[in-house]
Amino acid sequence: MSRLCSLTAVELVELLRNGQVTRREIMTEHLDRIASMDGEVGAFSQRIDPEVLLAAAAAADEERSAGCSLPLDGVPISVKEHFDVAGLASTEGVAAHARRVAPADAVVVQRLRRAGALVVGKGKQPDFKSRWNTISELHGVTRNPRDRRLSAGGSSGGDAAAVAAGFVSAGIGTDYGGSIRVPASFCGTWGLHTSPGRIPDTRAVGPSGSTPTAAAMSSIGPLARSPADLELLYGVIRGAVPAAPDSLDVADTKAGPPRVARLSDQLGAPVEPAIVARLDEICEAFAQAGYEVVDAEIPGGARLPELFGELVGTELMNVALPAWGETVGRPAREYLATMFGARQLGEYVGAYVAAFVELREHASRVASWMEQHPLVVAPVTAMPAPPLEFDIDLSDSAAAELFDRMRNVVWVNLLGLPAVAMPNGIQVVARRFAEDELLRACSSIAELVTMP
């Protein structure tokens, strides 16, 4: 990998401010790498014309001095296919929306551009962001840059692959059930799932509303090469806007005691020994950084993944799939029906409402428990990056097994908690709206995190 393509966003901005590199040089090296490798990886669903990007970089070199203070000045960035980028199609990964061109940028994209970032293109996602694998009816497959035989994860797999391959310094994804953390852990990047509401999700085309579970559990966040980059990007794109009524401006939760709860198989996930070894390495790193590390049980923890499956499955089977109709590809439809069909609560609204009431009770208990255990360290998934076809043509038993492997993922979304996925497949989870505490903790051990 070329020198500039391997640097973090923080390092690139520092070089630029010191006059050691130009924006055009940064963009040229990244575009060259994309041209040489993305045919094999398939990270991008759409890209802005390279000549347009080079001209924009050169214009920025002319307009802004080397000492410019824009936080993301000259940094190449991708955004998930989900986000509107003016002049590009907003497809959600399906052929039916291939001609739906965005007239304006989403707020997140606007904020990136104002901070000096150069948006290179859009990362692939599966149909309607619906899988833990990035295979799209419209845009095809994203492969893991570390091993082309393996999955890049999903649903923000294109952006994770773009960062891991050196195509961009950072990407912006969404996370409804692990969609940032799973691809980050498979591809070997850092990824931040924020508290829902921290970062606004606005649309220039298509429906702008959210289902109840999406509003409560889905969030936007960055994928990058370091916790410092996550913090930088988070600071740029956070903040509520009226156009996104679910977005919030809330003060950060005050830091709690320096205690870390170790979570491995307590929620029923069959964690592989290699992942347990990585978990223990991170726990030792936290101990060296001065944290107290304890094995602990989340109150009612084993029920949390089941509740996620019931709520999300009910919406998918009774609302989303009927609304999508034939626009969603057959493989994605069959995957969702197999994965969540047996978990849904049916059409009776009373059962769905009762599950939401139960969710509130669990959230209250866990919030009280986390006052004494403000950080939880756990695997993202129970397995290393799997083969590319790991979720294709699943039997009922294989779908149940896959869901079990994701038990440490989905409880985080269910409770609306922020979490950072590390490049080694381990995540750190914090209390709601405690992103600052979470990022400080990850920065304190970043140098001890090794790639598997």
Beta bridge partners of 387: 150
Q: Which residues have CB under 8 Å from 330's CB, separation 6+?
A: none
Q: Could you tell me whether strands 135-136 and 76-80 are parallel, antiparallel, or unpaired per DSSP bridges?
A: unpaired
The answer to whether the beta carbons of residues 363 and 332 sit under 8 Å apart is no
Q: What is the 3-state secondary structure (H, E, C) of the chain?
A: CCCHHHCCHHHHHHHHHCCCCCHHHHHHHHHHHHHHHHHHHCCEEEECCHHHHHHHHHHHHHHCCCCCCCCCCCCEEEEECCCCCCCCECCCCCHHHCCCECCCCCHHHHHHHHCCCEEEEEECCCHHHCCCCCEECCCEECEECCEEEEECCCCCHHHHHHHHHCCCCEEEEEECCCCCHHHHHHHCCEEEECCCCCCCCCCCCCCCCCCHHHHHHCEEEEEECCHHHHHHHHHHHCCCCCCCCCCCCCCCCCCCCCEEEECCCCCCCCCCHHHHHHHHHHHHHHHHCCCEEEECCCCCCCHHHHHHHHHHHHHHHHHHHHHHHHHCCHHHHHHHHHHHCCCCCCCCHHHHHHHHHHHHHHHHHHHHHHCCCCEEEEECCCCCCCECCCCCCCCHHHHHHHHHHCHHHHHHHHCCCCEEECCCCEEEEECCCCHHHHHHHHHHHHHHCCCC
Supply the residues annotated as catalytic. 80, 155, 179
Dist. CA 253–CA 143, nearest whole Å: 38
